[in-house]
Structure 1
Amino acid sequence: MPPDEAPLRERTRRAVQDRMTLAAIDLFVEQGYDATTVGQIAAAVGMSERTFFRYFSTKDDVLEHVSAHWRARVGADLAARPAAEPTWLAARRAFDGYVRETVEQGRALALLGVIYASPGLHGRHLLRLSRWTEAIAPALRARLDGTPDADFRTAVQAAVVVTCFEAARHAWVASGGESSLDELLDRAMESAARLLDGSA
Structure 2
Amino acid sequence: MKEELLNLAKQRRSIYALGRNVTTSEEELATLIKENIKWVPTPFNNQTTRAVILFGDKHEQLWDIVGKRLKSEVPTEEAYQKTLQKINGFKSAFGTVLFYTDMDIVHQFENDFALYADNFADWAEQAQGNAQFAVWTSLAENGIGANLQHYNPLIDDLVKDAFNIPDSWKLRAQLDFGSIEAPAGEKEFMDDNDRFKVLK
Query: What TM-score bracket applies, with the shorter chain setting the length?
Result: under 0.3
Higher helix share: 1
TM-score when scaled to structure 1?
Answer: 0.26
TM-score when scaled to structure 2?
Answer: 0.26
Higher strand share: 2
